[in-house]
Amino acid sequence: MTALNDGPLKGLVVFDLTRILAGPHCTQILGDLGAEVIKVERPSVGDDTRNFAPPYLPTASGEDSSESAYFAGTNRNKRSITLNLSDPKGQAIARQLIAKSDILTENFKTGTLAKYGLDYPTLSEEFPRLIYCSVTGFGHTGPYAERPAYDALIQAMGGVMSLTGEPKGEPMKVGVSIADLMSGMYAAVAVLAAVRHQQATGRGQHLDISMLDAHVAWLANQGMNYLATGENPERLGNQHPNIVPYQVMPSSDGYFVISVGNDPTFERFCKVAGAEALVADERFATAVARVRNREIVTEHLNEVTRQHPTDWWIERLEAEKVGCGRINGLDEVFNDPQVQAREMVIEMPHPSTEGRPAKLIASPLKLSETPVSYRRAPPTLGQHTEEVLGELLGLGSSEVSNLRDDGIV
């Protein structure tokens, strides 16, 4: 079964019950690293994100295919099978496949899988070496454990929306589903740690990953600012709470970002700007002073940067090793020579696109000895049902056909 697999996780089998984004993001990371991921979907329905469209992957003729771009973004390197877990026959097949697996991932609402005998306490008795990773909104303990959760809700409850947006504007969510994505990343890290333990001891464990926990964990310096002072950090728009200037700056023809993290860098910025006198001004001279005099510093520097166009600033600031950059649209991002040099877009043949390769965002993991691999395009619904059930359970075509007729697969 692992003949196609390359990467450091080659040989590991993941029984993947996740859907939407957080869980699939985790299992795509594992798949990219070589694990064999068996994605279990509801017959005739599939992962909810198959219907998060438009847009769809385009076909060779430029028409829409049947596959949503959203689903394709987090489901490569997986084999899709359909299985009705609410039916005892489906549950029995699931248990047979779990017996062949090293890792189970799921993001059902807390308590749901217990109804099917597929919860950790039940499965761990039969499969003591199984790593069982749960990704839920609030975890399996606490007063919110049984609540459903979505990315925007977690961004709101987790505090990041209170930190995002203009000072006098409304709270804003981040432009991508960061609560889902970070939960998926933490889940992948936890799985890798559990694999190490499994290899050393022969035993599995339950990984209880909460989206809210993950969100609180990456409040980082802003969370620490609150813990140190007991005061809620104020929204600062595009500014940094602890560094000035570290923000969007106006130019004569638009905007750019500048990151001045220390006093020597500020001196180099002033040299480029022809504003060396600011270094001697006590309000500007040190990093601490610039934060304490944020409004004055920002107002003055805005007047300075408005004197020249963005390209003028980028060229000269980069020459002086001052962190800066253009504010790119996604067209500029994917055409950026650095992004292209790092091969952050890949193309994979897909059965639904009439021969037109599907463009996908690549993994950012660059491993010199055990690189990630792109072995399977995002699957169509149930594409591998017969293949997996035949390969792992020895079922023939007629048996799978009967299961399909009975609504089991």
Q: The tokens of 341 are what?
A: 């040099």
Q: The tokens of 14 are what?
A: 């993941």
**Which residues carry out catalysis?**
180
Q: The tokens of 363 are what?
A: 């993994």
Helices 263-273 and 310-319 cross at an angle (nearest 10°) of 130
32, 123 Cβ separation under 8 angstroms: no
Q: How much of the chain is in helix, strand and coil states, percent to nearest 5?
A: 40, 15, 45
The conformation of residue 378, written as its DSSP 8-state character, comes to: P
Which of 29, 27, 35, 209 has the alpha carbon at shortest distance from 134? Answer: 209
Label residue 28 exposed, middle or buried (CB < 10 Å: 0-12, 13-18, 19+): buried
19, 39 Cβ separation under 8 angstroms: no
How far apart are the C-alpha atoms of 192 and 195, rounded to whole Å? 5
- Residue 242's identity, in one-letter code, is N
**Distances 73 to 28, 190, 302, 377 between C-alpha atoms, Å:** 9, 22, 39, 10
Which of 353, 348, 350, 379 has the alpha carbon at shortest distance from 46? Answer: 379
How far apart are the C-alpha atoms of 8 and 21, rounded to whole Å? 24
How far apart are the C-alpha atoms of 294 and 300, rounded to whole Å? 10
Alpha-helical runs (H) found in 282-393? 287-292, 294-305, 310-319, 330-334, 337-341, 385-393
217, 186 Cβ separation under 8 angstroms: yes
284, 342 Cβ separation under 8 angstroms: no
